[in-house]
Chains A and B, each alone.
Chain A
Amino acid sequence: MNQQTVAYDSKVEGEVIVTQADAVINWIRKHSVWPMPMGLACCAIELMAAGGSRFDMSRFGMEVMRFSPRQADCMIVAGTVTYKMAEVVRRIYEQMAEPKWVVAMGACASTGGMYRSYATLQGVDRIVPVDVYVSGCPPRPEALLDAMIKLQDKIGRESAFKNLTARKASGAAPAPEMAGAGKVS
């Protein structure tokens, strides 16, 4: 079969579905994102609203908020990360099982926001690799939903099988890229 898109033909295949490992793995992963709310400031209030019935994240398959990093695979950093808290955020990120993703929700988590100060980490991407940034101060729940849907799209484009075998071969997770590590401002 030459085509990249694999269609199911019931006459030919009967009860067998031919597909790619990536397509299956990504399909499973993207529809069962388990977010961990890293609520640090007012963005967490909007995050709660997004999880509640009015905005209802569960319509898109990511409502299973887990407060333990062991049971989650997507950390939503919602709020201002101080240098004192940065250590905690990093440790919680490390406690999450692979594969894992990070969403920087709001101006503070993305860039430090209005806190241009001695105490505030200027963007959580200096300590953890961020997949999706959400603008806003705080972002509306719709913006967070959009970010989560974008994250699903991103998960859908991953080379899941290749990553998996690479990880097995090297015996450890590939070192995540930090967008702003050691960035001199």
Chain B
Amino acid sequence: MAELAATELALLQERFDCLTERESADHLAVNCPAAKLVEFCTALRDNFGYDMLVDVTAVDWDAQSPRFTGIYHFLSLSKHEYLRVAVDCADDINPTLPSLCDLYAAANWHERETYDLMGIRYEGHPDLRRILMWDAYPYHPLRKDFPLAGIETPLPAADVAAQTGASVLPAPMMGGPFVSSGDGPMSQTEPRARDESWTEKKEKPTD
């Protein structure tokens, strides 16, 4: 497996000397500069047999620069091999990447999702609208600086908001999110082992 990945990397680097190997726990992963992405992916599809785009997502590195890294997962149905491509976004404030919609139809909705949740604009995308949140939503919720509970915003429909008096409010976290630390006996690490009796009305006691 590792040998296969090494020969594959050598083959890819032979054609694209801008590629560098990326640390990976599973299959082959490469870093690619944004300027070369479309050319590289065209070659992946037409010459290297990576005929399926499985996933498009992104990483927010928070305080680091470059802050956003676009991630692409390709699958070769003939070689039964996955390939991960990572592309850094040059701009930390308004991150952009070239769109792969012309190469892979699957990129369309995936890029819309990444735009919606991470705020990366895909240049050349035919219809870059939000796909999960509503069109007027002002934030990108999967960014590191966005709180899980949300930020107060008006409801998408003004008339419904006027009738009901409802708005998008931060969700009560009630001491959550409840995640086991997983590093000890379950009787001590599961959320129920800790005192989670506080609510949004009864504040969490400070030690």
- Asked if B10 is at the interface (CB within 8 A of a chain A CB), the reply is no
Cβ contacts A46-70/B at 8 Å (1 or 0 each) = 0000000000000000000000000
Sort chain B's interface into a size bin.
Answer: 20 to 34
A21, B151: Cα distance in complex, Å: 50
Residues of B within 8 A of A157 (CB): none
Q: A118 near B150 (CB under 8 angstroms)?
A: yes
Q: For A115, give the chain B residue with the smallest CB separation.
A: B171
- Asked if B168 is at the interface (CB within 8 A of a chain A CB), the reply is yes
Q: For B146, give the chain A residue with the smallest CB separation.
A: A118
- Asked if A12 is at the interface (CB within 8 A of a chain B CB), the reply is no
Determine which of B150, B151, B160, B172 lies in contact with A91 in the assembled complex, contact meaning CB atoms within 8 Å: B160
Interface residues of A in 87-133 (CB under 8 A from B): 87, 90-91, 112, 115-122, 126-128
Secondary structure of the B contact surface, majority rule: loop
A17, B169: Cα distance in complex, Å: 54
Q: For A117, give the chain B residue with the smallest CB separation.
A: B171
Q: How far is the CB of B139 from chain A (nearest CB, A)?
A: 8
Q: How far is the CB of A172 from chain B (nearest CB, A)?
A: 13
Residues of B within 8 A of A90 (CB): 157, 160, 163-164
Q: A182 near B167 (CB under 8 angstroms)?
A: yes
- Asked if A42 is at the interface (CB within 8 A of a chain B CB), the reply is no
Determine which of A118, A181, A184 lies in contact with B149 in the assembled complex, contact meaning CB atoms within 8 Å: A118
A100, B170: Cα distance in complex, Å: 30
Q: A83 near B164 (CB under 8 angstroms)?
A: no
Q: A181 near B171 (CB under 8 angstroms)?
A: no
Q: A122 near B169 (CB under 8 angstroms)?
A: yes
Determine which of B151, B157, B174 lies in contact with A87 in the assembled complex, contact meaning CB atoms within 8 Å: B157
With A83-B155, A84-B133, A87-B156: A116-B146 Cβ-Cβ less than 8 Å: no
Q: A181 near B166 (CB under 8 angstroms)?
A: yes
A118, B165: Cα distance in complex, Å: 18
Determine which of B155, B160, B165, B200 lies in contact with A185 in the assembled complex, contact meaning CB atoms within 8 Å: B200
Residues of A within 8 A of B182 (CB): none
- Asked if B141 is at the interface (CB within 8 A of a chain A CB), the reply is yes
Determine which of B133, B147, B166, B171 lies in contact with A112 in the assembled complex, contact meaning CB atoms within 8 Å: B171
Q: B141 near A119 (CB under 8 angstroms)?
A: yes
Considering residues B150, B164, B166, which has the most beta carbons from chain A within 10 angstroms of its beta carbon?
B166
Q: A178 near B166 (CB under 8 angstroms)?
A: yes
Cβ contacts A151-177/B at 8 Å (1 or 0 each) = 000000000000000000000000000
Q: B148 near A127 (CB under 8 angstroms)?
A: no
Considering residues B139, B148, B150, which has the most beta carbons from chain A within 10 angstroms of its beta carbon?
B150
A184, B151: Cα distance in complex, Å: 13
13 interchain pairs (CB within 8 A)? A83-B155, A90-B160, A91-B160, A116-B148, A116-B171, A116-B173, A116-B174, A117-B171, A118-B139, A127-B160, A182-B167, A183-B169, A185-B169
A: residues with CB less than 8 A from B are: 83-84, 86-87, 90-91, 112, 115-122, 126-128, 178, 181-185
